[in-house]
Amino acid sequence: MNAPVPVAIEDLRAALEAVVGQSHVSRRSLPPRKVPSQARNQITGDDAVRLRRGEPPAIGAAAWLVQPGSATEVAEIVALAGRAGAAVIPVGSGARAAGRDAPAGGRPRLYVDSRRMSHVLHLDETSLVVHVQAGLTALALERILVPRGLTLGDFPPSTLGSTIGGLLAVRTPGKSSARHGTVEDAVLGLSAVLADGRTIHTRVAPRRASGPDLARALLGSEGRLGFITAAVLRIHRRPEARFLAAFALPSLEDALAAVRLALREEAAPAALRVFEGADARAHLGESVCDEEQAVLLVATAGATDLAACDRDLVASAATAMGGAVLDDAVAEKWWRRRTGQERDPQAPPPALQVTAPAGREATVARAVAAAAERLGARARVHVSRFEADGAVEFFTFVEPDGEVAAGERSAAIRAAAEQAAEQAGAILLGSSPPGLEPYERQLERLLDPHGVFDPELTREPA
Amino acid sequence: MQRVALDPDRLRRELLPIVGERRLSMRASDLASYGRDMWPRLLIGIAAGRLPADLPHVVVWPETEREVAAVVRAARALGAPIVPYGGGSGVCGGTVPVLGGVTIDLKRMAEIRSVDRDSLLCDVEAGANGERFERELNRRGTTLGHFPSSIYCSTVGGWLACRAAGQMSTKYGKIEDRVAGLTAVTGRGDIIHTDGPARALRGPDWTQLLVGSEGTLAVITSARLRVSPIPELRILRGFEIESVAHGVEAIRRVMHRGLRPAVVRLYDEVDTFINHVPLFGRGRGGGAAGDDKGEERDPLERAPEPAAGGGALPEIPPKGDRGGASEGLFGRALSLLSPGAEPARRLAGRLRSGAINAVLSRPRLVNGLAGPLAEKVSRRGCRLIIGVEGARIRTEVEARLVMGELERAGATDLGEEPGRHWLEHRYDVSYKMSPVFRSGLFVDTMEVAATWERLMDLYRAVRQAISEHAVVMAHFSHAYPEGCSIYFTFFAPVVGAEKTYDAIWQAGMAAASRVGGTISHHHGVGLLKGPAMLGEHREAMAILRALKASFDPDGIMNPGKLGLPAALARRA
């Protein structure tokens, strides 16, 4: 087998055009991708700021935007990049900071946008499984499934604007549903292009014991080990029945205890949220509870008797912890926003998201509140996604005058809050276990020796 | 295979300071014990008088993860392979030391460090025995919900290394669904912790990459597992349904409605006939079915009985005699073959076994007969066992919905007794293996899985492939919303068995891969399915090889397993 022929930069554009066609290679900045209104308010932090300003990533001197129409074209582009010494950067919905300014004289960059690879390849209603290309957004997928009485799951609106590829490459616990986990948990099989241009497919099966679950190497790896081109996902029937309920509880701790109690009775709600008092009043209205109290909201869904049973289990638990039932309108308002039918006027979205281990939810929340207070601000919090591992907490920082903290002030409070949260045992977004760093680096070196998926060449070459 | 050349004196000198004299052995009897697991292919050889050929150079019993790390580092320096060993109950040859080396027996690391009833998380060392672990959890009001038929003789580490499943996995999940994080010693000798205290928020899912790695990447030393509260209510029932296809459809409908029974077992026509159809009007499990008047069975051949207070895990049988309960035609045949029988019976048994052998050497005939014969004799199709358990209120609701769904799908309710009988006797099968071998047959199982769309194709294709060479029966269990697992049991004479054995596996695995099923649902790969790994993973093997090179640069970790090379990466 001949050694791959290197490609000079001058010839790179022509080579790309030969793969995807002239109209799908450009030097223009990324056209701003339309973020569905349901999703807009739910994207947090820096990504949200950039997105709202309509800012696409900057494209440097030697960079092209390429839009392949198939996984085969992606493979050819990656192989081409390897031969040209270029870097490949996958671009999904564009919400994530996909591009940073290319350093002067740096390697050429190929921003590979998946938006043309947005088809449903196979819908298997017998197995409740769907095979999709990675450029399909969750919203577009739902629009195909819902008329057939199917759904990806009760995912929050923040999930909808992302592409399937993006949801799989970037692990965001907040983008998950109580019953169905994250979209990553729904993966039964994966197709991806490796740095050498080879395409891999992991076998589709409900469960296996044929070695490690190899797809898990790519999920959450942010495109550094492979370019995800398609996935096979578990889907669900639309539920027979849905029930909503809301309760006011004496304190945050009581509300969290009520959740644990209900989960112990094996209640399986479709969605569950606990608002601490101030956050509840901000989102649901001042009349919903006092500041020291908390609000527990639950949506259950499924076979009618079972969904009703789950609702009753949560109600009993809430009552046992001293809760009072709130008017139906409260739960309904929450649900309309949760499903993106209505926008939450409480923009901007939370500044900080952390995962608190089981049993430490209240401690973490209090630690963050204390840190904010030391800087003269107030932390509001709501908690969702309860699991054995813990729960996801969303914090909003508010100045004494009632305005949400912004700009540098927000950054400063957030930094202090992150530190306090970590000390209290929480896990921050984007963190990984320290001891495994060398193994991840080595895996990257082995699978991508020339740094095709490593634009900044953050590691030493092989 | 050719053992790696290791100087035993040097090996001893390096390892002795780590584990001490009493926890290191090079005795021939110890080495021979660790040369095998419960892989039937090895047992065929042993039954023919051939002892295992692949022995370790030394066996060690570390007591802490630091000792394990020190052993791995020492082995790495010496160029000695490492083979982790739990209960040795695997059926794929996963613990066979194909190049010799150091067998690390984890069973002295068996501590249950903590059980937190509020967060429902426990922390347990890898060498903990399954039965003892489950009982300790029960004492603290919890259960792992993990009941493999090997629970009495397997370890937590073994479960994790092989991606094991228990009989109630439809509710509780497989072991990989219950693990919250691991501690392991990699092939580089590092101690690593994955996903602690909560799931890592970026990067490869290291827990799911180590679970199922069968010792080729690291030695798992402890794990954090999710436990459940002990179920307050358990409901078990038997159903009869017209055919396998109807049964599969019924289960699929239950799962798609969002219901999660703990136990789902659909026996195909042959399995139903051999094990479940009553003879002479006597129902299986409908009262004492023993026909061996006071015949005493060897205590080692009696399966555990349920404890007086109920509970999911039967106690080890007490001393003293107990009339063996036989099940169906096959069970009776086997009990007559038992060496405990009197000489006249033994002779009759041998004659019968000869006859059985003669029949079984024409498997196609038997398989062909059994199906229609089963239908003619029983006219009852397939047996379906269903169990629902959990918190009281929700379980009552869920059970009603499950049973209703099954009846709407055409299943006939047979009542509680078949379900209860299954619960009480489900470990019996493991105790049948010895009499089968003594009667001149071998038995093995093949467990595959696929999505619902491909499931009947999988059943037919694998059944066809096996039935060329052996009598085969199957049951469907471990159901999921998107599909199900199929468990094939097959018998053939031991004479000429190794060739038959290899042919069956080659054909069965190829059939499974061809129709889009997976080659293993929960037994793992070991040595047995190594050749099928390339067909299973194809180009994705590049990821496994990269993981191997990253975690085990010298290639010392359980060489020759998972379809990876049986050779060290470099000499020390």
Looking at chain A, how many residues does it have?
Answer: 462
Smallest CA–CA separation between A318 and chain B, in Å?
16
Distances (CA, A) of A344 to A243, A295, A351: 21, 17, 15
User: Which of A222, A430, A447 is opposite residue B546, by nearest beta carbon?
Assistant: A447
Does A439 sit within 8 Å of B206, measured CB to CB? yes
Q: How far is B509 from chain A (nearest CA, A)?
A: 12
Q: Which residues of B fall within a CB distance of 8 Å from A303?
A: 257-259, 401
Tell me if B556 sits within 8 A of B79, measured CB to CB.
yes
Put simply, the answer to whether A209 touches B524 (Cβ < 8 Å) is yes
Q: How far is CA B359 from the centre of its chain?
A: 28
Q: Answer whether B206 sits within 8 Å of A220, measured CB to CB.
A: no
Nearest CB to A430: which of B191, B201, B485?
B201
Q: Kindly list the residues from chain B whose CB atom is less than 8 angstroms away from the CB atom of residue A173.
A: 199, 201
Residues in chain B: 572
| Number of other residues whose CB lies within 10 A of the CB of residue A97 | 12
Nearest chain A residue to B225 by CA distance is A388
Contact B451 A435 (CB under 8 A): no
**Helix residue ranges per DSSP H, B5-129:** 8-19, 28-33, 40-47, 65-78
For residue A358, give how far its alpha carbon lies from the nearest alpha carbon of chain B (Å): 6
Could you give the strand order of the β-sheet that contains B263-267, starting from the edge strand earlier in sequence? B412-415, B233-241, B382-390, B263-267, B471-480, B483-493, B441-451
Q: Which residues of B touch A356 (CB under 8 A)?
A: 198
Residue B143's pLDDT is 96
Q: Is the dihedral of CA A442, A445, A448, A454 positive or negative?
A: positive
Q: Is B411 on the interface with A (CB under 8 A)?
A: no
Window 35-94 of B: residues touching A by CB (8 A cutoff) are: none
Of B192, B258, B542, the CB nearest to A198: B542
CA distance A378 to chain B (A): 26
List the structure tokens of B179: 């693990």
**CB-based contact, B119 to chain A, within 8 Å:** yes
DSSP A54-84: TPPPP--TTEEEE--SSHHHHHHHHHHHHHH
Q: How many helices (H) and strands (E) does chain A have?
A: 15, 21
Residue B449 · residue B478 · CB < 8 Å: yes
What distances in angstroms separate CA A345 from CA A273, A335, A342, B340, B473, one per listed residue? 18, 14, 9, 80, 62
Residue B7's contacts (CB-CB under 8 Å, 6 or more residues apart) are none
Query: Of B174, B451, B537, which to mutate for an interface test with A (greatest number of A Cβ within 10 Å)?
Result: B451
Residue B63 distance to chain A (closest CA, Å): 22
CA-CA distance, B1 to A328, in Å (whole number)? 72
Strands A120-124 and A199-201, sheet pairing: unpaired
Q: What is the DSSP letter of B324?
A: P
Query: Which residues in chain B are closer than 8 Å to A388, comparing Cβ atoms?
Result: 119-121, 180, 226
Query: Measured between CA atoms, how close is A26 to chain B, in angstroms?
Result: 31
Query: Under an 8 A CB cutoff, do B537 and A202 touch?
Result: yes
Indicate the residue type of A136: L
In sequence order, what E strands does B429-480 have?
A: 441-451, 471-480
In terms of DSSP bridges, do strands B102-105 and B58-60 run parallel, antiparallel, or are they unpaired?
A: parallel
Residue B337 has a pLDDT of: 45
In chain B, which among 454-493 make CB contacts under 8 A with chain A? 478, 480-485
Instruction: Name which of B118, B176, B199 to mutate to probe chain A: the one with the most chain A Cβ atoms within 10 A of its Cβ.
Output: B199
pLDDT of residue B24: 98
Indicate yes or no: CB of A306 within 8 angstroms of CB of B259: yes
pLDDT for residue B286: 34
Q: Identify the residue whose tokens are 């797809």.
A: A215
Q: Is B196 on the interface with A (CB under 8 A)?
A: yes
- Amino acid B309: pLDDT: 42
Nearest CA in chain B to A207: B521
Helix, strand, coil percent values for chain B (each to nearest 5): 40, 20, 40
Q: Which of A124, A201, A206 sits opposite B538 (nearest CB)?
A: A201
ipTM for the whole complex = 0.90
Residue B521 to residue A429, Cβ atoms within 8 A = no
Cα–Cα distance for residue pair A80/A197, rounded to 1 Å: 8
- pLDDT at position B456: 97
CB < 8 Å to A176, chain B:
none
CB atoms within 10 A of CB A345: 9
CB A124, CB A63: distance < 8 Å: no
Strands A109-113 and A87-91: parallel
pLDDT, block means (10 residues), chain A with 462 residues: 72 92 79 51 44 50 86 96 92 64 68 94 98 96 96 86 93 77 91 97 94 96 94 96 97 94 92 94 92 95 96 96 96 89 76 88 94 94 82 92 89 94 86 86 95 76 46
Contact (Cβ atoms closer than 8 angstroms) between residue B353 and residue B365: no
Give the burial class of A333: count Cβ atoms within 10 A of its Cβ; 0-12 exposed, 13-18 middle, 19 or more buried: buried
A430 min Cα distance to partner chain B (Å): 5
Largest interatomic CA distance in chain B: 70
CB of B543 within 8 Å of a chain A CB? The answer is yes
Tell me if A128 and B256 make a contact (CB, 8 A cut-off): yes
Cβ-Cβ contacts under 8 Å, B176 against chain A: 207, 213
Predicted local confidence at residue B375, as pLDDT: 55
Residues of A in contact with B482 (CB under 8 A): 127-129, 188, 206, 234
Distance to chain A for B512, nearest Cα, Å: 11
Cβ of A306 and B394 within 8 Å? yes
Q: Quick check: B208 contacting A, CB < 8 Å?
A: yes
Contact B550 A442 (CB under 8 A): yes
State whether B119 and A219 contact (CB < 8 Å).
Answer: no
Please name the residues between 416 and 455 in chain B that touch chain A, using a CB distance below 8 Å: 449-453
Determine which helix (DSSP H) or strand (DSSP E) holds B160, and give its type and residue range: helix B156-162
Q: Do B165 and A209 touch (CB under 8 A)?
A: yes
- d(Cα A45, Cα A39) in Å, to the nearest integer? 14
DSSP state of B100: B
A227-234, strands of its sheet edge to edge: A120-124, A129-133, A227-234, A187-193, A199-201
| Cβ contact, residue pair A303, B257, below 8 Å | yes
Nearest CB to B121 within list A207, A216, A388: A388
CB pairs under 8 A between A and B: 274
Which residue of A170, A198, A306 is in closest CB contact with B401?
Answer: A306
**Number of other CB atoms surrounding residue A146 within 10 Å:** 12
Residues of chain B where predicted confidence (pLDDT) is lower than 50: 279-297, 299-300, 306-310, 318-328, 332-333, 335-345, 347-348, 571-572
pLDDT at A175: 75
Of A214, A265, A442, the CB nearest to B391: A265
Closest CA in chain A for residue B458: A205
| Interface contact flag, B521 A188, Cβ < 8 Å | no
B204 and A446: CB-CB below 8 Å? no
